[in-house]
Amino acid sequence: MIVKKSGGLAGVIAGSTAISSVGKGNGLKYRGYDIYDLAENAQFEEVAYLLIHGELPALDQLNRFRNKIIAGRQIPGLLKETLKNLPKSSHPMDVLRTAVSVLGCLEKEKEDFSNQQQIATRLLGILPSALLFWHHFQNSGIEIDTESSEESIGGYFLEKLHHSKAIEKHVKAMNTSLILYAEHEFNASTFASRITASTLSEFYSCIATGIGVLRGPLHGGANEAAMELISKFHNAQEARDGVKNMLDKKEKIMGFGHRVYQNGDPRNITIKNLSHCLSINHEEAHLYEVSEVIENVMLMEKSIFPNLDFYSASAYHFMGIPTSFFTPIFVFSRTAGWAAHIIEQRNENKLIRPGAEYNGPGNREFIPISERIH
C-alpha cells in the first residue's frame, strides 16, 4: 500500500475504531449516535457509559454507574498528602497527571485487565475531587469534603469549586460541554493513549499519557489560549482591530481551524449557543460579542472556522471557572473516550510501531577521537 507523505500524519489511516466517526461527511457520532442528539437529550454519565460499555444504559444500569462514580469521589489518605505537598504554582494538568499516577500505585490494575472498566469509572469520580482538593488546600488551607447530594459530574465540580450549590443552567451547560468533549477518534491524546495501551502497559499509565499530551497548547490547551485572547479586548471594535493586527503580524489565533473539519467543527454551534445563553445578564457579557467579532474576522480574512475550544472559553468563564481549569475539564470528559480506546486497543492488540523516513546524513566513516577536528 502506498501511503501519502504528510506532516503530522495528516490523512494517514492509523487503525480502525468502532467508538466514533469524525468528519466523514456526517459530522460527529459516538458509537453511531449523532452528537447533536446526545448533547440535546443525554446526560454526560449516559454518554460515558456508552463509550466505555458500548451501549446506552437502561435506567438501572445508569443508576448503578452513577453511584459508582459518586463513590469514586473519595480520595485516599496518601493521595491527599501528595496533593497537599504539590506546589501552589503547579499547573492543574500536572496535578491531575500526578493524581492518576499515585492512584495507580494505591489501587493497582489486575494483570488480566479484568477491572479496567471499574478503574475508568473510579477516575471519572476522583479526578474533579483531586483537582479541587489541591486547589482549595493550596489557596485557603481547606480540605474539601467530597460528600455531595449533586449526582452529576459537572454539577459536583461547580459545587465544590464555588462552595455552593451550582446554578441549574450552569449544571446543564457543563453537562453539554462534557458530552461535546468526551470523544474524538484518533486525536493526539487518544492515539498516544492507544500507543501506551498497545505495549500492554497498565490503565493508569495510558490515562497519564493522554493527560500529558492534552496539556499541550496545540491540543487541549487551546481553550486557555482562546480565553487569553478574548480577555484582551473590551469591545467589538477593539477586537476587530486587534485580531486584524495580529493577522498582519502572522500571529497564531488559537481556537480556530481543525485537522479533520474543513467546513467547520460540528460541535461549535452547540457550544456557541451555550456561551450566548450564559452571557445574558452577565457582567462581562461583552466577551460573547468580542468572540463573535473574532469569529467573523477569521472567517472573512482567513476562511477559518472556530473549533470547540473557542466558545468553550467564554462559556466556562461565564460560569466562574478559572482559566487554568479549562483543560482539566477536558480531562474529566475525555477520560471516558480514552478509556473506551484503551479497552478497544487491548481487545485486538498489536504493538503500534510506525516506520519513519530517514533524512539524515549518508554513509560516514568513523573517525578516532584523536583525529577529529571541529
Q: Which three cell numbers stand for residue 144?
A: 474539601
What's residue 2's pLDDT?
A: 41
Q: Which residues are catalytic?
A: 219, 258, 309
pLDDT along the chain (374 residues), means of 10: 55 84 80 96 98 98 98 98 98 98 98 98 98 98 96 98 97 98 95 98 98 90 90 95 95 78 81 97 96 95 90 97 97 98 97 91 95 87
Domains in the chain and their CATH numbers?
A: 36-218+324-347 (1.10.580.10), 222-318 (1.10.230.10)
The Cα–Cα gap between 117 and 123 comes to: 10
* Closest by Cα among 280, 335, 372 to 96: 335
Phi, psi angles (nearest 5°) of residue 311: -80, -15
pLDDT at 193: 98
Quote the pLDDT of residue 260: 63
Predicted local distance difference test score (pLDDT) of residue 3 = 46
- CA angle (20, 21, 23) in 5-degree steps: 140
Please state, in angstroms and rounded to a whole number, the distance separating the CA atoms of residues 50 and 55: 5
